[in-house]
Amino acid sequence: MKKIIVMNGPNLNLLGTREPEKYGSATLADVEKLCQETAKNLGFSVEFLQSNHEGPLIDKIQEAGLAYKAGQVQGVVFNPGAYTHTSVALHDAIAAVAGLPVIEVHISNVHAREAFRHHSYISPVAAGIVVGFGIQGYALAIEGLAKK
């Protein structure tokens, strides 16, 4: 069974515990369950991870690139959190694994928020972007990847 990797960046481990007006009341465990169920119905398995640090996210993108070339991975769903707006290193990691589809997801509509959230270092190297649909955005991204 091919795998979809779902990655989450800094502070997303706090989902459902604070700021429900911005990010809803679902926890990251709820997001994982949604991803597992959505992928299973489409015939894929899910590897789900969250990190508050750039390095492990970069390592996983590189690993996903090799697994994609080996035909084991369908693609990556990635909510980079605040690294979206700061990380040239994540941009470069995705650019370096040519071909690997990475779908950028944001729970909130970043374009309706502060100006510093309007720029993404990830979007130019993403295969698709899902913004502002709450945690359902993860399911939409998985559905999109399944058709790639």
Residues that bind ligand CA2 (CB under 6 A): 11-12, 14-15, 18-19, 23, 79, 81-82, 84, 106-108, 110, 117
Which residue's CB is nearer to ligand CA2, number 15 or number 93?
Answer: 15
Cβ 50 to ligand CA2 shortest distance, Å: 10
Please give the helix or strand (H or E) that residue 143 lies within, else none: helix 136-146
Counting Cα atoms < 13 Å in the Cβ hemisphere of 123 gives 12
Counting Cα atoms < 13 Å in the Cβ hemisphere of 124 gives 12
Cβ 10 to ligand CA2 shortest distance, Å: 7
Cβ 147 to ligand CA2 shortest distance, Å: 23
Q: Return d(Cα 58, Cα 128) in angstroms, integer.
A: 19
3-state DSSP assignment of residue 123:
helix
- 53 catalytic residue (yes or no): no
* Among 68, 83, 106, 138, the one annotated catalytic: 106
- 106 catalytic residue (yes or no): yes
Q: Return d(Cα 43, Cα 14) in angstroms, integer.
A: 29
* Among 23, 68, 83, 138, the one annotated catalytic: 23
| Catalytically active residues, by annotation | 23, 106
